[in-house]
Amino acid sequence: MDLSHIRSEYMTKPLHRESLDANPIRQFEYWFNDALEAKLIDPNAMTLATTGDDMLPSVRTVLLKIFDHKGFVFFSNKQSEKAQQISQNPQAALLFTWLSLHRQIKIQGHVEEISKTDSMKYFLSRPKGSQIGAWVSSQSKVIQSRAILEAKFEEIKNKFLKGKIPFPDFWGGYIVKPIKIEFWQGGQNRLHDRFLYTKQQDESWKIERLAP
């Protein structure tokens, strides 16, 4: 199928260096708030790219749940494919794609597990169904049918019917500590604006404009 006829023209105003915050986390927050105000569907959805020992890249969409000056946090089963790849190669890339705003943000950095206390705090804030789901799914493993999942869900639900759902020790949070953050804004005639923040040894950030 020839898709060459599919084309969009970006008409947003140019992004200038002087309009950027010196700190990329604050700049991310400004753009994230714009995405919230625009009522985008799941603005915290991000593509997570990881690579294990086999050097075969893998990508999937996960949800950003916490961000601050330390980095960007998501949660996962620790026996999943992404968790296994992270244990083998604790480097990852994130991509936020907000094309209705003509914007993307790419983040590259080092990945670490967050503390069990912080993982438990988030787990307890989840709806009960999501808590049960964490117990039910052996994430990324081959299963024979959906019926097996649904039966196990009912089993776990009945098991913990009268009490709190305990925290599963095979589940938790990961933080991507950024080394590079790129802000991309679409421009007319494919002259997009791209600015790359690179973390320096003194913890400051160097900002450079990239060619589109």
Instruction: List, by residue number, the catalytic residues.
Output: 190
CA-to-CA distance for 2 and 167, rounded, in angstroms?
A: 50
Find where tokens 């946090």 sit. 73
Identify which of 119, 111, 126, 112 has the alpha carbon closest to the alpha carbon of residue 169.
119
Residue 104: both structure tokens together: 């993307």
The answer for residues whose C-beta is within 8 angstroms of residue 192's C-beta and 6 or more apart is 10, 184, 185, 186, 212
Burial class (CB in 10 A: 0-12, 13-18, 19+), 143: exposed
Contact between residue 101 and residue 38 where contact means Cβ atoms under 8 Å apart: yes
